[in-house]
Amino acid sequence: MYRIVASRGTGKTRALMEEAYKNNGLFVCQNAHRMFEKANAYGFNGLKIISFRDFIDEIQPHIAYSDVTVTGYKHEDGCDIYIDELEGLVNFICLNKFKGYTISDDVL
């Protein structure tokens, strides 16, 4: 598991994009259009990017299958998923009612 914990503006998104790009992964984010522009500016042309909504609607129900097609991208070996701002995805799923969580320090 690749984790980045840092303050805003420190390059977390770029580093995660780079990791997803190197590993032919799927980059999941709030605003796919904006991140697509960022990825191209960083030189990560062809990075597979999907919004939280599309991830929930198209990918998540089929994540256990090795042959998944989503928004024009085919994942022959299943999906390696990289989520930008994980708490944002959880809040999106919880309809903005997400108020807290726990995490064991041994996972960081």
| Helix, strand, coil fractions of the chain, as percent rounded to 5 | 40, 15, 45
Alpha-carbon gap, residue 27 to 79, rounded angstroms: 10
Among candidates 35, 32, 25, which has minimal Cα distance to 73?
25
Alpha-carbon gap, residue 8 to 66, rounded angstroms: 35
Q: Give the predicted TM-score (pTM) of the model.
A: 0.80
Reported as type and span, the H/E element at residue 52 is helix 52-54
Question: Residue 85 class from Cβ within 10 Å (0-12 exposed, 13-18 middle, 19+ buried)?
Answer: middle
| pLDDT tens digits, one per residue of 36-45 | 999 999 999 9
| pLDDT tens digits, one per residue of 43-94 | 999 999 999 998 888 766 665 555 555 555 555 556 688 999 999 999 898 8
What is the predicted pLDDT for the residue at 67? 53
What is the predicted pLDDT for the residue at 15? 96
What is the predicted pLDDT for the residue at 102? 85
Domain borders along the chain are: 12-107
Alpha-carbon gap, residue 68 to 104, rounded angstroms: 32
